[in-house]
Amino acid sequence: MHFAKLGILASSLCSSRHASTRAKMIKTLLVALSVPVLSSLASPAAAPGWGGHHEGGSNGPHHSGEWGPPPPHGPWQHGHQGPVCVVEASSDDSSPAILDAFARCGHNSGSEIGKVVFKNETYNIKQVMNTTGLRNVDVDLQGTLSWDNSDLPYWLNHSLPVGYQNQSSAWLFGGENVKWTGNGYGTLDGNGQTWYDFVNGTNNYPGRPHQITITGTSDSYFSGLRFVQSQMWTMTVIHSQSLLLEDIYVNSTDQKRAVGFEFSSLNTDGADTIYSDNITFRRWTVDNEDDSISAKANSTNILIEDCKFYTGLGVAIGSIGQYPDRFEVVENLTARNIEINNMRYGVYVKTWTGVHSGYPPNGGGGGHGYAANMTFENFNLINASGIFAITQCTSYNSASGNCDTSEFNIRDLSILNWNGTTTSDVIGDMQCSGASPCTGLKIEGVGGIVDTVNGTHPSQYLCDSVVDPTGFNCTGPIWEENSR
C-alpha cells in the first residue's frame, strides 16, 4: 500500500467514533504492514504460562529449567468458520449421533474450521467410537458423555485395539489441529465402578477398555475437561506429537473399598504417553489408585508441571522394556511443581527384567533401550508413604527374581528440591540392573522432607548397581525386591 494511503487510513482511524469501524481499519493497517492478524478464537499458544523455549532439534531439547514443547499451531488462529454440528442427545444411545457429527464437521480443508458442540445434557454411550483422522475442528463439550456398562460382554468383545500391550479402548480419537474445550465442567464419565467390581483386582483384564485414546494427533489443544470413574486407563496418548493438555481433572477411585495396594481399581492411570513427542500436561488434578501420569515406550520431550496428584502410585516412567525385539526410549522428561498427596511415591521408574516370560499385557521382558535426561523438580510431599524408587524387577504376573538381568539402561536422572512429609526413612530405593547399572543419578535439595514417624529427615539411600551418584552416598542394599 502506498504511504500516502497509509497516512489517510491512520488519520481516519483517529477520527472514527465507531469501534467496529476502527477495528476494520486496524486490521487493514496491520495487513498493509505485514503484521499477522489473529482471529477472535484464542490460540493455545497464548495460554498463560506457556513460556519456555525448545532447542536441540529432532533429538529433543536440553533442559534449561524453562523448557517446554513448542506450542501447537492450530488453524483456529487464522481460519474461518466451517460447518457446525450440534449433537442431539438420545435417551437410548447417543454414539451414532456423535459419530455422525464428527463425520460431517470434523474433516475440514484449507483454513476452514469445523465445530462439534455437545449441549449441557447427558449423552449415553453404548458403543465403541472411532473418530480419528480429524482435521481443523473445534470441540465444545458443555455436558456429560456417560458410558453405559450394562453389557460388559459387549465392551470386552468390541473394545478397539490401542496398538500397545494388547490394550484396547472405548474411544479412539485423533487428528490434526484439534481444539477440544470442556469449559471446566464438560465431563467424560466412564461409570467405572462396574468395572472395578467386575475385575476385582485382576491386573490388565483382557478387553477392559481405556476411556479415551488420543491417537495419531498433532498440533492440538485439550483443556477444561473432567474425567470421572474411568473404565481403565483414563487417557492414552499414542503416536501423537505437539499437544498441550491443561486444566484437566481426573477422579477414578473405588467407592466401595478403601485405598490399598491390592485395590480393585488397579490400572486406572490418569494419563499415559506411548510413541509420542512434545507433550505437555499442565495443571492436572488426578485422584486415582495407580500411576498419576506415566511415560511409556518412546515418550520424548514430555513436560508435566503445576499438577496435584492424590492417592495413587506417583509419576511413573514405564513400565518399559517389555518387548524383546524392540529398542525403546524415554528421553527428555521434566516434571516440576508437583504436589503429592497420600501416595506411594513421588516418582518411580519401572522396567521389565531381561528374561522374557509370557506375553503383554501381563508378560514380557528382555527389551532394550534407555531412559535418560529426566528431571523431577520442586515436589511437595503430603503424607507420602515413599519418596523415590527404581525397580528393574517387573516380570510376568509379578514373578520374583532376575532383577540383575535387564539391559534397559537408566541414566541422567535428577531429583531436585523436594519438601514435605512422608512415613519413610528412605529417600531412594534404587534397584538397578547389574547387567546395565544406573549412571548419572543426582539427588539434591531434599533436606526439607520430614519422616513423620520419628520426626527426622529421611537419610537412607538403598542401592543395587548404582554407579557414581551425585548428591548422595548409598547407605545399604535394597531391603526387599520391589516388583512394581
Cell of residue 198, nine digits: 467386575
Catalytic residue ranges:
290
C-alpha pair distances (Å), 483 with each of 340, 348, 393: 22, 12, 5
C-alpha pair distances (Å), 262 with each of 210, 266, 290, 481: 20, 8, 10, 17
